[in-house]
Structures are given as C-alpha cells and as structure tokens.
Amino acid sequence: MDVEAVITHVQNSLRSRRIGDLLAFGRSRVADAPERSEGWLLQSLGLILDDQAALVYRRILPLRRRRFGDDGLVFLKDVFLILARLEAYDAILAAALVAPTSELFTVIPHYFAACVLLKQRRFDEGFALLSGVRGCCLANLGALPTTDSDGFMVLFRHALLVNDAGYLQQPYYRENLALNQARLGPLRWAVAPRPGGDPERSVVMVSCDGRYAELFLPGFLASADRLCADRVLHLHLLDPDSEPPSLSTLPSRQYGPLALTWEQSGALKCAAYYASARFVRMAALLRHYQRPILLFDVDMELHQPLERLEQAMEGGDFGSFRRDRLDPGSVYPAAAVGFRPTPVGLELADLLGSLILSKMSLKRPLLWLIDQASLYSAVTLLADQAARLRVVNFNHQLGLSLEDYVSLRGRDEDKLRLMTEASS
C-alpha cells in the first residue's frame, strides 16, 4: 500500500468536503489492503484529524493491535490513544466538536473529550459529557481499554480517579460522598480481642467475602502463623451468610487471636467495593486498635517475617511497596500496605475512605482499581502537596520487592469471576 498516496487522497477529500467519496475510498482500502485494518484506520484518521493524519499514522503503525481484527471502533480508539499519549488535548476536543453523527464515530471522540475536560478540572462539563456518552452506544464501550497501562489509561485515571485539592471542592465530590456515606452500613464486631504487649506491634488485616475466605483464608493464616505469631489477625467479612458470622465457620489459627468485623454492603454492593471496603474501614479500625495495621490481600502467602515491615514502618505514617508505573492506579499496590495511627496517618485513612466513597456512583468500567487509584491520590495530596505525610518505601527499606515478600495464590480469571458473582 502507498501510504502517502492514501493520506493525500484523504486530505484532499476533506478539504473539498467530499465525505461520501472519503467513505467509499475507505471501504475500497478495506478490500484491497493486505491487512484489513489499514482501511478502517485511515478512514478514522481522515474523518477526524485532517492535517495531523500523517503524523499520527506514523506513530500508531507500530503499535497497532492485530487481535482486535476489523472493528472500526477499536481503531478509532487507537487514534485517540496516541493523541492522549502525545497530550494533544486540543485535537481531542476539536475532534469531539466535529464528530460525525454516525453512532460508530461519536462515542470515542466524546469519551476522550470528557476525560480531557476532567483532567483540566472542568468537572461540570466533563461529567455532563461523560454522562451523555454513557447513555449512548453502551455496547461499544467494551472496546475501550480498562486494564492496560497505555496513554489513554494514564489520562483516564488521572481524570476520573486521581484527584487534587481542587477536586475536593467540587459539587460532584461532595454530593457523591454524602450519598454513599448514607449508603454505607455499620461496621459490626463479631469477635473483638484486644491486642496486648508492645503498642508498636501491628494488627494484621485482610478483607473478603465468605467464598474468598473459604478458598484463600486457610493458606494466608498458615503463613501468618509461621511469620507473625501472637499478633491479632483481623478479618473484615463482607455480606456473610449468617448474622453475626461465627468463628466456628472459619479456619482456625494455631497461634494468636482472630478478630472479626463484618458488614452488609447493600446499595454499595459491587466488585469494586469488595476490593475497597478495607480502606473505607481503615480509619475506624486504626482508632479502635491505636496501633499499626498491616493490610494484605487474602489471596496472598507471606514469605518474610512481619517484623521486617514493622521495623520499616517506624517513624512513618504510611508504608507500601512501590512500582515504577506510569499508571497512577498501579503505583502503590494494595497487596501489602501499612498504616500507623498518627494524626496524619488517620488523616490519610479518612481522606482515602472519602475519595473511594465519592467514586462509588461511577459505573463499569470506571471503577477498575479504584482502591489503588484513590490511594495514590490521598498519598500524593498529603505527601507532595501538604508535605506532612511520611511515606515509607518498603522496597528501599527492606531491599525487597513485593514479589519477594508475598506471592499470589489462585488464578486471576477465577478470582474475577468470584468477585463478579458475589457482587452481581
């Protein structure tokens, strides 16, 4: 294919406003191209980018994802991925203003434009546009990326999930926070042993529903008994089968007491809240125990003594392993984090819970990794902007990675299915 000739034809058609000719030309390229994707891609470029088509084409060519086949919507999305990565925000907003009325070509420009508006702190405009897109062509949103850390996700999570002080003043934040605080059920105690001994000795916490507890809690408890004996292990249980849940229905520990709280998630019930409830309840538990809490995913197995994290946490307010990722929702993995009940540590826990609750009115796929994205927001706000939060980097303090400290048990697809079933 003579790419330059194709781009020239597209540009000439646009200048003379011969959109019908352009569409016919695109269809012919679909038939003639050795890779059928070329026709859709060039047609999408031509329809919305005009004189930037050549530049974006050269950028997107090596990044094209063959697995999406002939879906024109996906290739239109790829164009905007590149624009987002180049921070070509003016081009994204301009494309949304002139997007054709065809359903196929409307949802993507408007979706990305909403993200740009939110990133620019234009919340009323951004959420209004996003709301309109959400009600139109919903089936096509499945073509948008929801987990990969590409240019769009960096923009997307910054816009929707990662917040600064300005966001906290917006009506959207205050209204959603009040709504979901009212939906939040009480934190109920089933078993409440008081930890003794050294006040710097931590409480170990995990959170899950009954099915997850059945599958993964025995393995976690076994590793905890080996590596953190005599500490209180706190289980927060969501939507138990019986009220109150009984320890007799749960795996037993060989060493140390097991504390148990529970809640009915009610109107908040969804997979995202299942992943986030532990952070929503963190401030209350810190105030109850008045000692550090080390929080782990229940589907993990510990490989290092807990004392190493406790020693690393001394002198800090919050501790975490850290990943060098562009995606802010992946910087602080929630699989192993520590909170201390210092004044600023409690402020962090309060802010984190509020940020999560302010987002619980969003719909899929907007909630993916909301817990880690909100953690990034809260830590950044207090550490970088307020310069008061003392953050401990476990990687540096211990000379270990997260994978050195814990290992993941079970298959991701099985766990996602269980979370979806439980929260349906």
pLDDT of residue 393: 95
From the centroid of its chain, how far is CA 397? 26
DSSP 236: E
Specify the pairing of strand 203-209 against strand 233-238: parallel
Highest mean pLDDT among 28-37, 40-49, 218-227: 218-227
Instruction: Tokens 């050195």: give the residue.
Output: 404
For 206-253, how does the pLDDT look when each residue is reduced to its tens digit (9 = 90+)?
Answer: 999 988 898 899 999 999 888 887 889 999 999 998 888 988 888 777
What is the rounded distance in angstroms from the CA atom of residue 381 to the CA atom of residue 389?
9
Residue predicted with more confidence, 45 or 288: 288
Q: What is the mean pLDDT of the chain?
A: 78
pLDDT of residue 100: 58
**pLDDT of 315 strictly over 50:** yes
Domains along the chain with CATH numbers:
3-160 (no CATH), 181-423 (3.90.550.10)
For 330-345, how does the pLDDT look when each residue is reduced to its tens digit (9 = 90+)?
Answer: 789 999 999 999 999 9
Instruction: Tokens 């917040």: give the residue.
Output: 163
pLDDT of residue 108: 74
- Residue 74, CA atoms < 13 Å, CB-side half-sphere: 14
Task: Reduce the DSSP state of residue 235 to 3 states and report it.
Answer: strand
For 142-156, how does the pLDDT look when each residue is reduced to its tens digit (9 = 90+)?
Answer: 444 433 334 444 445
Point out which residues pair with 236 in neighbouring strands.
207, 261
**pLDDT of 293 strictly over 90:** yes
Task: Work out the pLDDT band at 140, boundaries 50, 70, 90.
Answer: very low
**pLDDT of 141 strictly over 50:** no
pLDDT of residue 189: 96
| Nearest Cα residue to 203 out of 301, 299, 278, 300 | 278
Backbone angles phi, psi at 383, to 5 degrees: -85, -50
For 74-124, how does the pLDDT look when each residue is reduced to its tens digit (9 = 90+)?
Answer: 666 667 766 766 677 887 888 787 765 555 456 777 878 887 887 777 767
**pLDDT of 378 strictly over 50:** yes
What is the rounded distance in angstroms from the CA atom of residue 281 to the CA atom of residue 50?
51
pLDDT of residue 168: 83
What is the rounded distance in angstroms from the CA atom of residue 276 to the CA atom of residue 424?
16
Please enumerate in sequence order all residues whose Cβ is within 8 A of that of 291, keeping only pairs 6 or more positions apart, or say none: 195, 199, 200, 201, 202, 203, 341
DSSP letters along 268-321, please?
G-SHHHHHHHHHHTHHHHHHHH-S-EEEE-TTEEE-S-HHHHHHHHTT-SEEE-
Model-wide pTM > 0.75: no
pLDDT of residue 67: 40
Task: Work out the pLDDT band at 266, boundaries 50, 70, 90.
Answer: very high
Instruction: Tokens 């816009």: give the residue.
Output: 159
